[in-house]
Amino acid sequence: MRQMRGRRLWIGNAGDLRDPRSLLAAGVMAVVELADNEPPATLPRELVRLRFPLADGGDNPEWLLRLAVNSVVALLDADVPTLIACSCGLNRSVCLAAAALAPKDGLHFEEMLLNVAKAGPADVSPRLAAQFQAALGH
């Protein structure tokens, strides 16, 4: 689990969700699960949980991508410390973080995706990135 510098936003993986104590110790208050291939995490009641089962390959309904982005934007706007997690923390979580942060920083999705990818490990699927870009209209 890595925190985006200067933000109350973390990117993580399914393994991070198996250790809720570390989430609570870091101050995380909301968890956004993205892995369609992982069972929902068992989390304590104190943590808000949102689950958007996204596929890595880019075969996701546009409404689901928009809902995920808008939900993370709302959490960030409310200053809620949030973890975005997918299976490995390299693709879906990176794309969603970039999609939610781009409008806040006045950047296009591609620019923010590069910034997020530079901040830590990333292995972004071009099809998924293109799908997020299309859903955002950038």
Count of structural domains within the chain: 1
Query: What integer pLDDT is reported at residue 63 of this predicted model?
Result: 96
Query: What integer pLDDT is reported at residue 132 of this predicted model?
Result: 96
Q: Mind giving me the DSSP string for 64-115?
A: HHHHHHHHHHHHHHTT--EEEEESSSSSHHHHHHHHHHHHHHT--HHHHHHH
- Spatial separation of the C-alpha atoms in residues 87 and 119, rounded to whole Å: 18
Ranges of the chain whose pLDDT falls below 50: none
Query: What integer pLDDT is reported at residue 52 of this predicted model?
Result: 97
pLDDT tens-place string over residues 16-31: 999 999 999 999 999 9
The whole domain housing 79 covers 2-136
User: The domain spanning residue 42 has which CATH number?
Assistant: 3.90.190.10
